[in-house]
Amino acid sequence: RKEVEQDPGPFNVPEGATVAFNCTYSNSASQSFFWYRQDCRKEPKLLMSVYSSGNEDGRFTAQLNRASQYISLLIRDSKLSDSATYLCVVNMNNDMRFGAGTRLTVKP
């Protein structure tokens, strides 16, 4: 089983749509969780951390289910500028491991 596994995508959605990405991780001792965003040919940048109780930042909502070893990211009212690859990142004993990423394209 891969350490961090994500929806393969790609997701092509119209502006204003709601889209959800899922991620599972293999190490139950993983300590912290993040969603990163990567634009084409750029470095990954932190989008948001994922807290146990779930957290929201504007149009973005992240959820964590430790029992199922599952993380999700929900984007509401998607914008053209949300087009990017979304990376699930898991901290396993201070080693940050990345999922393969899910590509999102938001179309007018």
CA-CA distance, 76 to 24, in Å (whole number)?
A: 21
> What letter represents residue 99's amino acid?
G
Q: Min. distance of Cβ 41 from another protein in angstroms?
A: 8
Give the closest residue to 102 by CA, choosing from 22, 28, 3.
22
Report the C-alpha gap between 47 and 64 in whole angstroms.
Answer: 15
Cβ distance to another protein smaller for residue 58 or 108:
58
Q: Report the nearest approach of another protein to the CB of residue 51 (Å).
A: 6
44 upstream amide cis, omega within 30 of 0: no
Q: Considering beta carbons, is residue 17 or 91 the nearer one to another protein?
A: 91
CB of 93 to another protein, least distance (A): 8
Residues that bind another protein (CB under 8 A): 31-34, 36, 38, 41-46, 49-51, 87, 89, 91, 93-101
